Each structure stands twice: as C-alpha cells, then as structure tokens.
C-alpha cells in the first residue's frame, strides 16, 4: 500500500549522445565501440539513474595515418588566412563589388560600358585623372607648397585624347562631356555662394574690394582688346575670353597662403586673409561677366537688342535666385528628419536645374548667376547649419573635380591645334597678366603696406585653374549645339587659351608664392602677439580643393 502511495518515477529522458550514436532501428545493447556509464542522481527522498553511451576511441589499424597534422608557417597563416580576412578580404570584396556593378550596368546598357562606349570612357577617365592628381600631389619641393593635383588631372585627360590607341577606346560623346562639365560648374557655383560670409560683406574694407574687383575688370578689358587685334576674335568673344582669364584660382592661392600663414609671414599685416577673401569676389565677378557676355554672343538681333538681352538675363537670374534662395531658407523646416540631406539634395538639384534649364530656355547667362544667388541666400538663412551642407557639396566636388579637369584636357587635340592660335594666345595671356600685376600693385598703394608687401600681393594674383576649367568650355559647348562652324572655332580658341593659362600659371603661381613669401613678407615683430594669435587660431587643413 505504501508503494502505491509513492509517486511513480518517469523514465529518464534519453541523452542527446544516445540519439547521436544510435541510428534508427539500432539495438540499445552496448557494443564494443561504446562505453556504458550509469549516473546516479541522489536528491532526497528520490534516487534516479541515467545511462549514457560514450563512444570509444576509433580503432586504428595499420593503414590509418597517425601522424600529427601539418601546421603551416605562422606568418603565412596570418598573412593569408583561410577564409581571407582583413586587407585581403577587403580587396576581394571591392573587386567583387566592381565586377557585380559592371555586370549590372553591362546587362542594362550593353555597348555603353564596353571599350568605345561613353560609360567606359568616363570610368577610365575618372580613374586615370584621380591617379594623375595623386602622383602630381606627391611632388614636394623643400619649403614650397606641393604642386596642385589638378595639373595631373588635366595632363591625364590630354594624354588620353592624344594617344592613338587609347583615343579610340576612351571615347566620350561631346554631349555627355558638356553635361558633366555643366554639373561641375553648378557645384563650383554652389560652393562659391555658400562660401560668402554676409557679416564679412558688411565689414568689407575698400582695399579688399579694390583687389577683388579691379584687377579682374582691367585684365578682362585688356585681354578683350589684345585678342581682338592679335587673334581676330570679335569684341564680344574677346570679352568672353577676358572674363575667363580674369578669375584668380583659390585652388592655388588659398593653400599657398595657409602655408605662409602657418609660419607667421604677413600675419600681422593681414595679407593672407586679404588675398583669400578677395579671391571669392574676383571669381564671382568673372563668372557674372562671362555669363552676361555669353548670353549676348549667342543672341540674334541688333547690338542694342543683345545688350538689353544681356541685362535682362542678369536681372532674371538674380530674381530667380532670390526666390529659390528664400524657398530653401524655410523648406525643409528645422524640425524635419534628415534635414541636412534634404537641404543638400534640393540645393544641388535646383542649381543643376538652373544651369541646364537656362540653356533650354534660351537664356544661358542667367543660370550661373541664379545658382550663386540662391546658394548665398540659402546659406545666409541657414547660418551655422550650412556647414554640414558644405561638407556634402564638398564630397560632390571631389567626384566631379577629376572629371572636370580630365574632360577639359581631353578637349585639346594636338593634331587640331593651330600654332598661330597657341602663340598669339600665350601672347594675349602674358599681356593680360602683366597689366593685372601692375594694376594690383596700384590698388594697394594707399593700404599701409610697404613696397615688398605690395609686390607680393601683385605676384600672388597670378594663378588660374578652377574657374578657367569650369567655364572655359561652356562657350564651345553652346557653339556645338548651334552647329555653327565659325562659332565653334571661336569657342575652341577660348578653350585653348584657358587650358594654356592653367598649365602655365598654376605651377608658376604656386612656386612664386612659395619662393617670394618668406623674402617679401615679415613675421610679427611682437612675439607676444604672435603667440596670442597662434594660440587662438586653429590650424586649417591645407588642400587644393577650391574653397572660393
């Protein structure tokens, strides 16, 4: 009776090892390959037993290899692990992604991504331009700023166009090329507009205004007159060339001045700040004059009608820029998610639309000015919040900068160059630079600088690069759409001189600033003031990307 009162014990749960060792239909009887282990669990008032079957060591016969496994060299295992990890895995992954991307694009576009197609040519040009820029940037002379990488990008495009075998494989239709250059122009104009400081404009001194505007206007007028009589360009095309050459290149001036500023040269007199601030206004004035003259050059009608049309294009571009700029100030609102991405997308999209839409509407001179104004007003409303937007626009510039300079270099063909055009173009460029240097010296006569400082400011206003690459081919692209042989010749002359100005003045300007700066500028005479400035001034990154 007492046995019935005790709770009945449930059979023990089979061990997982038992399930693994016994196949379906196998007898639970222990064989020679197994060891039976009985485990007793004592927990008052009950005692339970569980049986486990543990496999014996496998039987080793004479044919079994009992040697220890061969262990590879430790360095080899760390360098080439299996499966791959680290740098090797990253490299394989990137190659795999590239192959998959190529396969997807090929399946959609077919011949466009093969040698001779536009996508293949753009990809090869981009990779080679980036490589050329990196190689030129590695050229470093003692106590001198490095050569601007844009020279390597420009020369790479030039080589790809003039090597016979490569030219056939790396083909880019002129419509694709023009579209990419116009997008790069829109990005440059956005950076120029965002880079303007409203408070600095209010406090702008007269000397900065004179240096930023006077040399540009004088050089543009000088080049227009000289090119009209030497190169035979019409007056309006002479002014187009003049404003193309009238812009200074912050891509060369700014990094060079930052190196001098880091060592204290001219810091007490404010020369680095003066030149970096005046460069923005110099470029904006040149772009505005260029777009106005280009609108007049491609207009049909009398001279007075074309002049009125040019003024209307400037006014229309400013009005459109004001409206779009105020639109971006309030939309998207600050309380939205991902407001930086939305602002960046709208800013880039509206700017590209303004540049392309103005050409479609027949007012090519208004798109660039519209982009400048809308970017400036949008940045003025965003205030400090515009910094993340500037970073995103900077990423876009890193993509389109190699394409811009590579495509500009690829437009020049040695077989089609006219020796007279090259010689007369260099002559026009040299005369314009001489007048520019002299007039810049005059602009700073009453600014409180000594003779050496005035001479340095005048020489530092030589380099040309980014703006010339951005707008140098715009007139040629417009002429090609008109299918006018004479206008295409004028556009090619403008582009040739613009490329020559980059090749000649960018490296020479960087060397002149680096060599003459320590000899013509002074370090602060008051050591305490120098320590105070160096303690409060943050070190700026030295880069050749255009800050405008």
* 16-51: burial string, b at 16+ Cβ within 10 Å, e else: eebeebeeeeeeeeeeeebeeeeeeeeeeeeeeeee
Res 280 pLDDT > 80:
no
pLDDT digits (tens, 9 = 90+) for 355-368: 999 888 878 778 88
More confident residue, 281 or 218: 218
**pLDDT tens digits along 383-419:** 888 889 999 999 999 999 999 999 998 888 888 888 8
Average pLDDT over residues 87-115: 86
- Band of pLDDT at residue 435, cut at 50, 70 and 90: very high
pLDDT at 530 over 60: no
Q: How confident is the model at residue 147 (pLDDT cuts 50, 70, 90)?
A: confident
Mean pLDDT of the chain: 80
How confident is the model at residue 541, as a pLDDT? 40
Given this model, what pLDDT does residue 544 score? Answer: 36
For residue 241, the model assigns a pLDDT of 94
Convert the pLDDT of each residue in 473-493 to its tens digit. 888 888 888 888 899 999 999
Q: Which pLDDT does position 542 carry in this prediction?
A: 39
Q: How confident is the model at residue 226 (pLDDT cuts 50, 70, 90)?
A: very high
Q: What is the pLDDT of residue 528?
A: 54
Provide the pLDDT confidence category of residue 189 given band limits of 50, 70 and 90. Answer: confident
pLDDT for 353 equals 95
Q: Which fold has domain 178-523?
A: Na+/H+ antiporter like fold (1.20.1530)
Collapsing DSSP to helix, strand or coil, 41 comes out as strand
Segment 462-467 mean pLDDT: 87
The band of 24, judged by pLDDT with boundaries at 50, 70 and 90, is very low
pLDDT of residue 21: 44
Tell me the mean pLDDT in the region 203-223.
Answer: 85
**Confidence band, pLDDT 50/70/90 cuts, at residue 112:** confident
The reported pLDDT for the residue numbered 526 is 64
Q: What sign results for the dihedral spanned by CA atoms 378, 383, 384, 385?
A: negative
User: Using an 8 Å Cβ cutoff, are 153 and 244 in contact?
Assistant: no
Q: Rounded distance, CA 210 to CA 383, Å?
A: 27
Q: Whole-prediction pTM value?
A: 0.73
Question: Which own/partner pairs from 113-121 qualify as long-range (CB within 8 Å, at least 24 positions apart)?
Answer: 115/169, 116/168, 116/169, 116/171, 117/171, 118/171, 118/172, 118/173, 118/176, 120/169, 120/170, 121/169, 121/170, 121/171, 121/172
Higher pLDDT, 256 or 455: 455
Average pLDDT value for residue range 85-107: 86
Higher pLDDT, 52 or 114: 114
Q: Where are the domains of the chain?
A: 83-172, 178-523
Tell me: cis bond preceding 27? Omega within 30 of 0 counts. Answer: no
């Amino acid at each position: 009776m007492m046995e019935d009162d005790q709770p009945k014990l449930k059979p023990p749960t089979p061990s997982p090892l038992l399930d693994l060792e016994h196949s379906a239909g196998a007898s639970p009887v222990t064989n020679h390959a197994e060891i039976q282990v009985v485990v007793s669990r004592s927990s008052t008032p009950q005692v339970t037993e569980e049986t486990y079957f543990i496999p014996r060591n496998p039987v080793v016969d004479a044919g079994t290899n009992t040697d220890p496994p061969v262990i590879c060299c430790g360095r080899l295992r760390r360098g080439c692990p299996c499966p791959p990890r680290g740098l090797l895995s990253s490299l394989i992954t990137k190659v795999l992604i590239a192959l998959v991307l190529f396969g997807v694009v090929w399946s959609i576009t077919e011949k466009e991504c093969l040698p001779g197609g536009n996508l293949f040519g753009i990809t090869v040009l981009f990779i080679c331009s980036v490589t050329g820029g990196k190689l030129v940037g590695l050229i470093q002379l003692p106590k001198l700023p490095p050569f601007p990488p844009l020279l390597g990008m420009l020369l790479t495009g030039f080589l790809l166009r003039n090597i016979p075998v490569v030219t056939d494989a790396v083909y880019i239709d002129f419509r694709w090329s023009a579209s990419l250059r116009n997008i790069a122009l829109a990005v440059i104009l956005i950076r120029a507009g965002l880079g303007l400081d409203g408070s600095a404009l209010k406090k702008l001194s007269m000397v900065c205004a004179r240096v930023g505007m006077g040399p540009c206007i004088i050089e543009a007028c000088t080049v227009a007159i000289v090119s009209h009589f030497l190169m035979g360009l019409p007056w309006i095309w002479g002014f187009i060339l003049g404003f193309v050459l009238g812009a200074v290149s912050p891509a060369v001036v700014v990094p060079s001045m930052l190196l001098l500023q880091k060592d204290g040269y001219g810091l007490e007199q404010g020369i680095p700040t003066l030149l970096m601030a005046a460069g923005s206004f110099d470029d904006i004035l040149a772009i505005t004059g260029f777009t106005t003259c280009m609108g007049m050059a491609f207009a049909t009608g009398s001279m007075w009608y074309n002049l009125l049309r040019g003024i209307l294009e400037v006014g229309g571009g400013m009005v459109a820029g004001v409206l779009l700029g105020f639109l971006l100030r309030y939309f998207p609102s600050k309380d939205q998610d991902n407001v930086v991405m939305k602002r960046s997308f709208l800013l880039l999209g509206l700017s590209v639309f303004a540049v392309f839409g103005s050409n479609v509407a027949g007012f090519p001179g208004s798109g660039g000015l519209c982009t400048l104004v809308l970017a400036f007003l949008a940045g003025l409303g965003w205030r400090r919040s515009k910094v993340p937007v500037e970073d995103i626009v900077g990423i876009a510039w890193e993509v389109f900068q190699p394409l811009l300079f590579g495509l500009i270099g690829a437009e020049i063909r040695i077989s089609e160059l006219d020796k007279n055009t090259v010689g007369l173009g260099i002559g026009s460029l040299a005369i314009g630079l001489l007048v520019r240097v002299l007039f810049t010296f005059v602009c700073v006569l009453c600014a409180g600088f000594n003779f050496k400082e005035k001479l340095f400011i005048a020489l530092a206003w030589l380099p040309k690069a980014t703006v010339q690459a951005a707008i140098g081919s715009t007139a040629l692209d417009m002429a090609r759409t008109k299918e006018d042989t004479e206008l295409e010749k004028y556009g090619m002359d403008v582009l040739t001189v613009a490329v020559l100005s980059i090749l000649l003045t960018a490296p020479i300007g960087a060397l002149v600033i680096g060599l003459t700066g320590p000899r013509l500028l002074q370090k602060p005479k008051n050591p305490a003031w120098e320590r105070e400035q160096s303690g409060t001034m943050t070190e700026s990154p030295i880069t050749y990307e255009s800050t405008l």
